[in-house]
């Protein structure tokens, strides 16, 4: 791990974010990881509604502590005219504005790219929405599950029956949009170095998820049949998925090519003749006859423990994995060996935090506290030149 005193890529960059839920906060948290100063503007007394999703982390919400470390929380009632003065002063020195307010809300506040670019030509404006600017769905409300549905994800996820469709267990549409917003902002910062001007980054949750759906889309190209819902198995590669072992456990494995299929039959199943069986000697045939092949694999594993099956798979160099629950991930030996957990402070005390997946030898990521609601209001306003008396007046009027 590099020394934390080394410069970070976004040191000196200031981000103002009108954000809630997951997509925008996940984007800006990653900018903060790289050193950006992120000022999170929240409604007085209420804040980001994700603060109230649950109380599972020492009384704090799990989504919130995940996506909001290393930020400053400024409470500001944007419906009050004096709040515009505060926001304009912040934007005058900011590099990036990120917002994922309700459709049309930012424009009504005078925060569209067109309105801001004339006054702050170097400002990068990133709008994150469900469906993007323009089109018949522009004003349509969007939540993660709804985008998973609109983007076709539910049609290929879950069990084979229509009633067995399943959403992802985490907010993948929000996460996808947050990732594209993050990379879009980094690209806009690079572009500004060349042009001297800020640009508009428009990110749609639908388009972000549809990009991730490109394999099943192309698989079903020109009216072809779409991939079937196959539970935890792979729809178009077999054997690839979960299989029970004789001691009541489950092993996850994947056979990707014909060389591995030969190894699997000889060294894992101990049935070499199966390798050239006409029903299974290509991946297409194995997918077509998956039920019969699954029965053979289950029979072969029925007398073996999970450890024994895993040992055979490892010796045959067949990819495999344990089916971990959440505690298994907290305790994962690879994460422990690579020292991927550090400590992050919160208003409720320290919690473990996973270091960002990108490791650099040049700098250490920023892992500062998760802010309390409005914790940095006085600090931010004082930095704008506002006196303690004036800040007190704003607080008395409910502006902050």
Active site residues: 174
Q: How far is CA 311 from the centre of its chain?
A: 34
- Return the HEC string of the chain: CCCCCCCCCCCCCEEEEECCCCHHHHHHHHHHHCCCEEEEEECCCCCCHHHHCCCCECCECHHHHHHCCCEEEEECCCCCHHHHHHHHHHHHCCCEEEECCCCCHHHHCCCCHHHHHHHCCCCEEEEEECCCCCCCCCCCCCCHHHHHHHCCHHHHCECCCHHHECCCCCCHHHHHHHHHHHHHHHHHHHHHHHHCCCCEEEEEHHHHHHHHCHHHHHHCHHHCCCCCCCCCCCCCCCCEEEEECCCCCEEEEECCCHHHHHHHHHHHCCCHHHHHCCCCCCHHHHHHCHHHHHHHHHHHHCCCCHHHHHHHHHHCCCEEEECCCHHHHHCCHHHHHCCCEEEECCCCCCEEEECCCCCCCCCCCCCCCCCCCCCCHHHHHHHCCCCHHHHHHHHHCCCC
* HSE-up of residue 236 (Cα within 13 Å, Cβ side): 9
Burial class (CB in 10 A: 0-12, 13-18, 19+), 221: exposed
């Amino acid at each position: 791990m590099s020394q934390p005193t080394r410069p970070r890529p976004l040191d000196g960059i200031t981000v103002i974010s009108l954000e809630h839920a997951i997509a925008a906060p996940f984007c800006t948290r990653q900018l903060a990881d790289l050193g950006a100063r992120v000022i999170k503007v929240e409604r007085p007394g209420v804040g980001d509604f994700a603060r109230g999703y649950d109380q599972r982390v020492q009384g704090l919400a799990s989504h919130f502590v995940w996506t909001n470390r290393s930020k400053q929380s400024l409470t500001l009632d944007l419906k009050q005219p004096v709040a515009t003065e505060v926001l304009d002063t912040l934007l005058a020195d900011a590099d990036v504005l990120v917002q994922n307010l309700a459709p049309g809300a930012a424009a009504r506040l005078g925060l569209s790219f067109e309105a801001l670019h004339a006054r702050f030509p170097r400002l990068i404006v990133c709008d994150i929405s469900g469906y993007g600017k323009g089109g018949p769905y522009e004003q349509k409300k969007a939540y993660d599950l709804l985008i998973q549905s609109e983007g076709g994800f539910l049609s290929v996820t879950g069990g084979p029956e229509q009633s067995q469709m399943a959403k992802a267990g985490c907010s993948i549409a929000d996460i996808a949009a947050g990732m594209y917003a993050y990379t879009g902002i980094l690209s806009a910062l690079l572009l500004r170095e060349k042009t001297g001007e800020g640009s508009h980054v428009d990110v749609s949750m639908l388009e972000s998820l549809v990009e991730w759906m490109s394999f099943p889309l192309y698989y079903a190209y020109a009216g072809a049949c779409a991939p079937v819902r196959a539970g935890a198995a792979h729809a178009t590669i077999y054997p690839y998925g979960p299989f029970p072992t004789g001691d009541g456990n489950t092993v996850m494995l994947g056979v990707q090519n014909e060389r591995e299929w030969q190894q699997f039959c000889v060294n894992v199943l101990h049935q070499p003749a199966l390798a050239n069986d006409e029903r299974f000697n290509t991946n297409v045939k194995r997918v077509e006859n998956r039920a019969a092949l699954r029965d053979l694999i289950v029979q072969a594993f029925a007398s073996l423990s999970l450890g024994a099956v895993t040992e055979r798979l490892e010796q045959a160099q067949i990819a495999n994995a344990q089916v971990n629950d959440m505690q298994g991930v907290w305790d994962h030996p690879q994460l422990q060996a690579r020292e991927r957990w550090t400590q992050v402070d919160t208003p409720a005390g320290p919690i473990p935090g996973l270091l960002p997946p990108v490791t650099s030898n040049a700098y250490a990521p920023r892992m500062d506290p998760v802010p309390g609601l409005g914790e940095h209001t006085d600090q931010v306003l004082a930095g704008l030149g506002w006196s303690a008396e004036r800040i007190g007046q704003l607080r008395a009027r409910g502006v902050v």
